[in-house]
């Protein structure tokens, strides 16, 4: 079994409820408005559906929902990775206050609504009474077919995303051609302006230094000439006296050893003076005023400053600016490579078409199998000769789910032409078709608990008897919970709970109690004949229970092995799927996004 216990406090019209659940087939019955579906709403909330303040019982500050499940082995890695305790039980709790704020826990550890929804996909499979509505949507029909046929659309979605990216890049490039051309022309003009200058790194400082020297060339030459005269003048120059002093000391070194050191110093000075004279003479030989070069330098420096002001940069930044513009132009040239973009888009589209054809082939194989399976289920639900048909219509441009539009057609009677399911006029037929789909698809998932919320609405008589047997057979291998108004269905249940609404001093509350023996007979009699019980209705109820106990239980396979055989017999092999993929195609579950606001069912 999966769901073991649910505890509610101050939830809608439930003041306090502590209910144990059992394996097999369990029904919830009661008067209209008693609150049978409130239990389903509570399970959806504790498994992550959107919460609001309306679920808090009037006059209370907080609603509290707890649900205990057997922990499936397949959830163990996820629980460990998410940081939750990994015992044999899975305890989920959620509170909603009067302001609509909610908090959640998994095995005592705070959890998010997303994590609760992930668990819900693994634990419960809920089928609602208006399941046929979703079947009118092509996306829901396609999802159910893909799940039934174990068709993985992950690759086609990736291929479609890649094609979209290349297609959008091409469209943007074509649309931006005018803007890109204007930007290219602007950059080309700016580059041509700076290219006239052709500024080089560190050139600015060198030009300034050269210009400064030429501007003061005459002064520098006069200075060099004067210094040379000071060194070479026979009377007042420094070279001759220094040379004579060195010669005198050198001549007396043999008499005074101390003169040798001084003589060496003077000798060095004489040599340095000679080097200085030679350098000054060389400078004067090559020095030139060169007014033409000075004019050229003036013109280049002026252009440099002009461009720096125009582009609001310092002169030193002009070389880097020119290189950045050239890089931008190269990028623009690459960005408008329309031929390359068209080739990339065409390649991505070809891959997408190939992937779409492969998925379409898989759907073409799965469609007749699903048609046969649901058609077979319809035969036992009062639609002898009825037919269910899956129609595939290809589209020219594949989407993220491929190139197929999937529709469901139904013929309710032998010889009638199948029509779209939305055009089936009879509410009873719609309910039976929905139930046939629910029973068929419930065999696919791995959720241990199946919930049927009034999916038997609109049927009765022998069909209701068949529905009861079907659900009882499902309960042999799954935990099945059903909210029903049909005594024929309730009679086949392994466990029976009655939901009743009672008036208290200050409010109306909903209560749930298990039924057995005479209590169960009384409830079935009420469902058969209304509030006024008669010996005839009581006798009919007892007979119905007795017949249910004696009814054959062969409508559906009861073992896991038999269920797998039923999947493949006469229909081809349907590979096993993950619980998540199976859940994604379940037919019209009660929306996990928002519980119903009704205070009744």
Give Cβ neighbours of residue 223 (< 8 Å, ≥ 6 apart): none
* pLDDT score at 84: 92
Give Cβ neighbours of residue 130 (< 8 Å, ≥ 6 apart): 434, 588
CA dist 278 and 232 (Å) reads 11
| DSSP secondary structure letters along 299-325 | HHHHHHHHHHHHTT--GGGHHHHHHHH
- Over range 480-494, report the average pLDDT: 90
Specify the range with the lowest mean pLDDT, choosing from 43-47, 360-364, 589-593: 589-593
For residue range 217-243, list pLDDT tens digits in order: 777 777 877 787 777 765 666 777 777
Residue 299 has pLDDT above 70, yes or no: yes
Domains, the chain: 3-153+350-584 (3.40.50.300), 180-335 (no CATH)
* pLDDT score at 601: 36
Residue 90 has pLDDT above 80, yes or no: yes
- Over range 58-72, report the average pLDDT: 91
- Over range 242-271, report the average pLDDT: 80
Residue 461, classified by CB atoms within 10 Å of its CB into exposed (0-12), middle (13-18) or buried (19+), is: exposed
Average pLDDT of the chain, as a whole number? 80
* pLDDT score at 580: 35
Report H helices in 153-257.
Answer: 154-175, 177-197, 203-215, 217-232, 239-251
For residue range 111-143, list pLDDT tens digits in order: 999 999 888 888 887 776 655 566 677 887 888
Specify the range with the lowest mean pLDDT, choosing from 22-26, 470-474, 536-540, 559-563: 559-563
Residue found under tokens 């009474």 = 129
Handedness of CA 585, 588, 589, 590 (dihedral sign): positive
Report phi then psi at 486, rounded to 5: -95, 120
- Over range 427-436, report the average pLDDT: 74
* pLDDT score at 440: 80
Specify the range with the lowest mean pLDDT, choosing from 13-17, 471-475, 556-560: 556-560
Closest by alpha carbon to 374, among 459, 468, 437? 437
- Over range 461-479, report the average pLDDT: 83
pLDDT band, residue 438 (cuts 50/70/90): confident
| DSSP secondary structure letters along 378-419 | HHTTT-TT-EEEEEEEEEEEEETTEEEEEEEEEE-STTPPPE
* pLDDT score at 576: 35
For residue range 576-600, list pLDDT tens digits in order: 333 333 333 333 332 333 333 333 3
pLDDT band, residue 361 (cuts 50/70/90): very high
pLDDT band, residue 556 (cuts 50/70/90): very low
């Amino acid at each position: 079994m999966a769901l073991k216990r649910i505890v509610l406090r101050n939830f809608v019209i439930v003041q306090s409820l502590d209910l144990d659940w059992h394996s097999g087939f369990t029904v919830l019955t009661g008067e209209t408005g008693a609150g049978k579906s409130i239990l389903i709403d509570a399970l959806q909330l504790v498994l992550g559906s959107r919460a609001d303040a309306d679920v808090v019982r009037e006059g209370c500050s907080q609603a509290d929902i707890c649900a205990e499940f057997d922990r499936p082995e397949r959830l163990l890695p996820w629980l460990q990775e998410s940081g939750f305790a990994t015992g044999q039980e899975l305890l989920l709790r959620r509170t909603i206050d009067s302001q609509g704020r909610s908090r959640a826990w998994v095995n005592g550890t705070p959890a998010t609504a997303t994590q609760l929804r992930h668990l819900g996909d693994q634990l419960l499979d809920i089928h609602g009474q208006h399941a046929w509505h979703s079947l009118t949507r092509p996306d829901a029909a396609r999802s159910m077919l893909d799940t039934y046929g174990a068709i993985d659309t992950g690759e086609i979605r990736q291929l479609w995303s890649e094609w979209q990216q290349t297609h959008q890049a091409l469209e943007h490039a074509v649309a931006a051609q005018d803007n890109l051309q204007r930007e290219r022309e602007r950059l080309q003009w700016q580059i041509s302006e700076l290219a006239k200058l052709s500024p080089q790194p560190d050139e600015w400082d060198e030009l300034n230094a050269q210009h400064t020297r030429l501007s003061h060339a005459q002064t520098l030459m006069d200075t060099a000439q004067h210094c040379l005269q000071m060194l070479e003048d026979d009377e007042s120059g420094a070279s001759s006296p220094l040379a004579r002093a060195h010669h005198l000391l050198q001549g007396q070194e043999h008499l005074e050893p101390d003169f040798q050191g001084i003589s060496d110093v003077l000798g060095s000075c004489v040599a340095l003076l000679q080097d200085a004279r030679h350098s000054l003479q060389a400078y004067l030989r090559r020095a030139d005023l060169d007014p033409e070069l000075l004019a050229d330098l003036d013109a280049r420096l002026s252009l440099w400053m002009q461009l720096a002001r125009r582009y609001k940069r310092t002169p030193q930044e002009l070389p880097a600016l020119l290189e950045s513009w050239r890089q931008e132009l190269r990028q623009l040239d690459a960005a408008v490579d329309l031929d390359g973009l068209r080739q990339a888009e065409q390649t991505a589209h070809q891959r997408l078409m190939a992937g779409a054809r492969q998925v379409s082939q898989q759907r073409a194989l799965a469609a007749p199998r699903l048609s046969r399976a649901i058609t077979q289920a319809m035969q036992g639900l009062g639609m002898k000769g009825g037919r269910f048909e899956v129609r595939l219509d290809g589209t020219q441009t594949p989407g993220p789910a491929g190139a197929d539009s999937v529709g469901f057609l139904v013929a309710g009677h032998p010889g009638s032409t199948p029509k779209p399911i939305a055009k089936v006029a009879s509410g009873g037929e719609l309910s039976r078709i929905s139930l046939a789909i629910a029973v068929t698809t419930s065999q696919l998932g791995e959720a241990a608990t199946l919930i049927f919320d009034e999916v038997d609405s609109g049927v009765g008589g022998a069909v209701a008897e068949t529905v009861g047997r079907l659900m009882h057979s499902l309960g042999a291998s799954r935990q099945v919970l059903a909210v029903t108004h049909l005594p024929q269905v309730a009679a086949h249940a392994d466990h029976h709970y009655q939901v009743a609404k009672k008036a208290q001093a200050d409010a109306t509350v909903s209560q749930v109690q298990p039924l057995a023996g005479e209590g169960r007979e009384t409830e079935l009699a009420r469902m058969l004949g209304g509030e006024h019980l008669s010996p005839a209705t009581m006798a009919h109820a007892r007979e119905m229970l007795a017949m249910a106990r004696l009814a054959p239980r062969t409508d559906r396979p009861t073992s896991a092995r038999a269920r797998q055989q039923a999947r493949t017999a006469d229909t081809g092999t349907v590979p096993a799927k993950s619980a998540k993929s199976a859940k994604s195609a379940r037919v019209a579950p009660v929306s996990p996004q928002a519980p119903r606001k009704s205070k009744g069912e």
